[in-house]
Chain A
Amino acid sequence: DAGITQSPRHKVTETGTPVTLRCHQTENHRYMYWYRQDPGHGLRLIHYSYGVKDTDKGEVSDGYSVSRSKTEDFLLTLESATSSQTSVYFCAISEEGLAGAFQETQYFGPGTRLLVL
């Protein structure tokens, strides 16, 4: 399995508080991704990074920000958590970008379960 860890694995917080989730990889992959997973929606891309300090928005980026100061770490921040952000958050990595890269696949972390009360 790819060396991807997420922390914390579980978190309960209150509406309006800031929350930061961390993804750490030991594979030295260039691309990192944050997804959320909700029942009936599959996975939806929040943000992704294509290098240190290089990030871009995904399908559901509103209310989230990201930072990547080192190759191995990708942080997801909820500036002011809302109940609609209760979800399971997955980090993923890929060696290169997926566009036009047949056989390039994503490897996923174990997930963080976030409950916003």
Chain B
Amino acid sequence: LAKTTQPISMDSYEGQEVNITCSHNNIATNDYITWYQQFPSQGPRFIIQGYKTKVTNEVASLFIPADRKSSTLSLPRVSLSDTAVYYCLVGPGESNYQLIWGAGTKLIIKP
């Protein structure tokens, strides 16, 4: 099963671009990479998902190199409301239960 590694915490400032990298050296062919955002006392919320190359939606971009052993979540022009914990999820592999969550990156945005 793929294990994921993320930085424990990061700081940035309003208006900056923030990049959070997740390492997943043992990612399997059938695995996707998904990122979730979690605010205190709430459940995680889907941000973006990808398999390879680059994916962009209205809130973030996801960069995945050709070897897929890492991925980078990019948040453009962050605001104070982007302060949250961000989780990298690799899976589901061959079945639904091979879901490996990272320990999360606590992102703090300063004014």
Contact = CB atoms under 8 A, between A and B. Distances in A.
A100 B97 contact: no
A78 B45 CA distance: 26
Interface in A69-110: 90, 92, 97-100, 102-103, 105-110
B20 to A, nearest CB: 14
Interface residues of A, number: 29
Contacts, number: 62
Classify chain B: how many residues form its interface, as a range.
Answer: 20 to 34
Interface of A: 4, 31, 40-45, 48, 50, 56-59, 90, 92, 97-100, 102-103, 105-111
Interface of B: 30, 32, 34, 41-46, 49, 51, 87, 91-97, 99, 101-104
